[in-house]
Structure 1
């Protein structure tokens, strides 16, 4: 008989998979695997190969979030419309069977965003709900949360329900410009990377956005090249400058539609969240950081058909 206290949690995005074997409130083991975009076998086969010996613990359920529920994943879990809370998502879990192991996939969210267009997310909804559990004060009133990443999400939560969000592909645009545009090729970059130069460039890029406003971002981006040619900007400082422009522009645009940045809860990797915190501070806002992995575990706990309170991660 399966042990109801033993479960498998998974955060399965495009670039990575993180699996956790849990018993009660504790994480007993953790494994990493390929993201949906890097599979050499089907999602079902990949999952079963990774959790093979975990089956000896007789888990009662595997609960997965992220791109595993996309049309390119294991099976498509239909988007839940906003506004939505934990109960709405829990009621829409997509249930599958994997060689006798029950699997549930968390649906993503859809909304009409602040610009009047359609918007979607997968995986971030779980982190958001986890952040609300980690800091229950976020369930009261109107709150702004941000999830920095390849596709940064700005999310409005009202009295514990996700009411709308806005996506900006900041990380993807930065990667494309750095790797495939002429912007990074005006100065030699064959030496070791200088974190100090990157940080100085980032601060300079954010300052230009504060000075000129986000509407001039397309024109400011070209300064990444012209400042290398005329001002002697190093490649590292230029790439920091480009990052500062993009993150600063994204943050300033959000301030214009949200009304007032106030205090933003930043959910994600510490290094990237710190860059957004710097941009928010430059625009007279404040922020608090929420660890992305902790938020995923707390969110999956909340969305589990038989949720337990609290998660203790085995170091």
Structure 2
């Protein structure tokens, strides 16, 4: 079973990542559109992308993310927290696409630290992948951050996700950058600078997350009165948003010595910098590696469950 050829994928709102694997080896990778931008049905889009891969006779496919939502291929109802990989595997749903078995992974639901409902799809697979890659995370209580469009702060206790809270940091930044006066004068086309980001962290650290809205308008004032460049302005805005998110996480989860950040790259680096500024260490786990390890863990558990059911 471990040497079967399989198709695995993370199909989110804005992008699709597919891998053709044999055992732990990746034979090929292919990217595609997210579920929000499809021009054909999810099934047909999937079949178009994996057409030539069928020559390798894959045993099946397993997909996580928004593909299992009401916006995607078919609804895979959330698994409630606390939940481990086995609990998620038990709630997978199985489809068929032109004779190829397809498994959809459900997301997780919880009551967040503010007492409100919260959900995730796709991030749970990365969390379980991080646990598989670093078995030390399977023991005790740990806090994991998953930067992205909707940043997730996730608590894991003895291998189970016990709760999480979502902050739409990436989405807020994108909307402000593309549609607000804060980015007027070239901000929409500018990449944020490191200097601007550091200033944003400094300002939010000095005045607190409760002053976020007031500090945000300085993005505009600094450009008009101080000659701040668009790059510095966008870096400043990013620093404010991420700094406020990190500050709130410390309030919700208590004293934090270290955080596991899932997702290498520029955004993950910004969270590492923001955490360091408040004295919190961070270990970084590559997002692709976490997805692959998590899907392997869920797939293996699902296969064992199906075998036992027989």
Smaller-chain TM-score bracket: over 0.9
Q: Which stretches in structure 1 are left out of the alignment for 5+ residues?
A: 309-315
Task: For residue 45 of structure 1, give the secondary structure of its aligned residue in structure 2.
Answer: helix
Q: Is the 8 A contact 2:6 2:58 kept in 1?
A: yes
Query: CA, structure 1 residues 175+91, in 2 after alignment: closer, same or farther (shift >3 Å)?
Result: same
Indicate the residue corresponding to 2:224 in structure 1: 229
Tell me the TM-score normalised to structure 1 length: 0.92
Query: CA, structure 1 residues 98+156, in 2 after alignment: closer, same or farther (shift >3 Å)?
Result: same
1:26-175 map, 5 Å? 26-175=25-174
Query: CA, structure 1 residues 3+50, in 2 after alignment: closer, same or farther (shift >3 Å)?
Result: farther
Indicate the residue corresponding to 1:6 in structure 2: 5
CA shift digits 1:163-214 (9 cap, x unpaired): 00000000111111111111112x4569x9576xx11000000011111111
Distance 1:50 1:194 in 2: 32
Distance 2:149 2:285 in 1: 18
Q: Which of 242, 259, 273 pairs up with 2:237?
A: 242
Task: For residue 304 of structure 1, give the secondary structure of its aligned residue in structure 2.
Answer: helix
Relative to its length, the structure with more helix (as a share) is 2
Distance 1:171 1:18 in 2: 19
- Worse-matched range after superposition: 121-130 or 55-64: 55-64
Query: CA, structure 1 residues 26+259, in 2 after alignment: closer, same or farther (shift >3 Å)?
Result: same
Task: For residue 165 of structure 2, give the secondary structure of its aligned residue in structure 1.
Answer: strand
CA shift digits 1:267-307 (9 cap, x unpaired): 01421111001111111111011100000000000000468
Q: Is the 8 A contact 1:63 1:106 kept in 2?
A: yes
Distance 1:60 1:3 in 2: 11
Q: Is the 8 A contact 2:63 2:105 kept in 1?
A: yes
Q: Is the 8 A contact 1:270 1:289 kept in 2?
A: no
Tell me the TM-score normalised to structure 2 length: 0.94
Q: Which stretches in structure 2 are left out of the alignment for 5+ residues?
A: 304-310
Distance 1:115 1:194 in 2: 33
Q: Which of 287, 290, 293 pairs up with 2:285?
A: 290
Q: Is the 8 A contact 2:191 2:235 kept in 1?
A: no
Tell me, yes or no, if structure 1 residue 299 matches structure 2 residue 298: no
Q: Is the 8 A contact 2:89 2:302 kept in 1?
A: no
Distance 1:306 1:232 in 2: 57
Aligned-residue Cα RMSD (Å) equals 1.8
Q: How many residues are treated as equivalent by the alignment?
A: 303
Runs of 4+ that moved beyond 3 A: 187-190, 192-195, 305-308
